[in-house]
Amino acid sequence: MRAAFAAVARDRAGLAADLRARGEQAHAQIVEIGALIAADPALLDPALAAIRTGADAVMAVTRAADAQAAVLAALPDADLAQRAGDVRQVAAAVVAELRGAAAGGPGQFGTAAGGPGQFSTAAGGPGPFGTAAGGPGPFGAATAPPPEGPFILVRQEVDPAELIRLAGAGSGSAVLAGAVSVGGGASSHAAIVARGLGLPMLAGADPRVLEAPAGHPAILDAVAGELIVDPAEPEPAAVMVSEALASPLADGIVRTADGEQVTVLCNVASAAEAKLGLSGGAGGVGLLRTEIPFTGAARWPTESEHLAQLVPILTGLGGKSAIVRLLDFSGDKVPPFLAGAGRPYGLAALLGAPDALGSQLRAILRAGRGGPVAVLVPMVTSADEVTQVRKQLAEVAGAAGIDPPELGIMVEVAATAAQAEAFGSLVDFFSIGTNDLACDILGIDRADPGAEPALAADPRVLALIEHVVRAGSEAGIKVSVCGDAAADPHVLPLLLGLGVRTISVGAARVPRVAQWIAATRIRGQDVP
């Protein structure tokens, strides 16, 4: 039991080190969370106690994980409750190690013969349609061959570490084409990794998918939210979505079918994503998420730690612009040192912690000397919050002997959007976060599987977006949309019709979104 937990912790720590060596800092931080959980006595000790009383090892791990996951799942913050999935993912890996050891095999990522084992363990452990608690999946014994060609990974809870490993395995003819998760949502770690890798992923799938036979043809349409197993007319080409697309972008600029100019930027959290976005034609980074590498942190990041994350991304932009968002420790991105009932998190925690904001601002200015950099404040609800950030930014820039960079705010709270004109004189730009804004307006939890980008097409959401665009125009400041709705083929034309002319989308979506813009005609059309 101890060896199995240690092996999982060691495996994830090693993968994290490899990711760091490749400059993929954000993915490394996510994988490291699994290593910390595997090394935590809170999960190991109850499992050891159970086997000492004669319990089956697999059941002992499963029950210990279920107990820990239940504690997390019961937290009042639904986004934070999704972290229960991290515990279950580690437990599944430990079970795979136990079964592999029992069969004399190497564990969850290989067969007894040492070959690829994406869909089975050395002992025939949980396949992609089975869970850690459910024993062997339909793939059956360890002799099941690895998949040939593209395959879709299906799990009760998709493990981000497994997703990264399979996506970069390059073993034989097996190619990871997408993933399906019964648990989790669009803000889960696995979903973040999938977006960065450019992989389609369906979260919140019908649990009956776990009963589907493995090895059968299937079509994953993540846009429609469908996994079709044994389709009447198989379309193998429909599974392959990673082919390069011809992009109509030129330095981030694309024109609609009737000549309107639109700027396309990319959302990133790592150097790899930034490289992918720029290669697709993005004109720069419209949203750099700085909190992702620190979601497992035990304290506020230091200036040097911020620099280690920012420098590889900003220096790789070749002088193109970047909008760097301040730490947004909210939702399922609340690190351990901020977790706990009654404790402040998000912007309030950042502004209240001694030098937490100053350390990040100094790092942003130092790392961004090679190109235009702007600062973005998340989840703003009051003018006082903006004033505090503006003051510290001026002090940090003055100490560095440079002019302060532009300062903008995320418009992702309904009340802030409704008062957009009151913020117009305080900032240099608005960045509309449609994910949180739509959920706030419609009263939907962001962790809900139904919280999809298409919600921004609701007339109530569109009305507030139009209000923000108009307020920005009257104040003479720039307005962009950085939420996932900008990469939704049904919502994007509506945003353009409302006057949005700068969007920022997931790095892998840049070429496709540019094609949609080029095919859209705006003038002469009414917007609902």
Answer whether 331's CB lies under 8 Å from 412's CB. Answer: no
Nearest partner of 288 among 431, 437, 489, judged by Cα:
431
CA atoms within a 13 Å half-sphere pointing along the CA-CB vector of 210 = 20
Collect all residues with Cβ–Cβ distance below 8 Å to 436 and sequence separation of at least 6.
379, 412, 413, 446, 483
Kindly list the distances between the CA atom of residue 315 and the CA atoms of 19, 57, 183, 348, 430, in Å, as whole numbers in the listed order. 18, 49, 37, 30, 25
Quote the CA–CA distance of 191 and 193 in Å, as a whole number.
Answer: 5
Catalytic residues: 189, 482
Helix (H) or strand (E) holding 334: none
Collect all residues with Cβ–Cβ distance below 8 Å to 41 and sequence separation of at least 6.
none
Gyration radius (Cα) of the chain, Å = 23
**What's phi and psi for 289, nearest 5 deg?**
-80, 110
Tokens of 197: 């890798």
Output the CA torsion sign for 105, 111, 112, 113: negative
Long-range own/partner contacts, residues 101-105 (CB < 8 A, 24 or more apart): 101/3, 101/4, 103/142, 105/142
Answer whether 494's CB lies under 8 Å from 488's CB. Answer: no
Q: Which amino acid is at 227?
A: L
Instruction: Look at residue 430 and give its three-state secondary structure.
Output: strand
Quote the CA–CA distance of 358 and 350 in Å, as a whole number.
Answer: 10
Residue whose tokens read 């665009």: 469
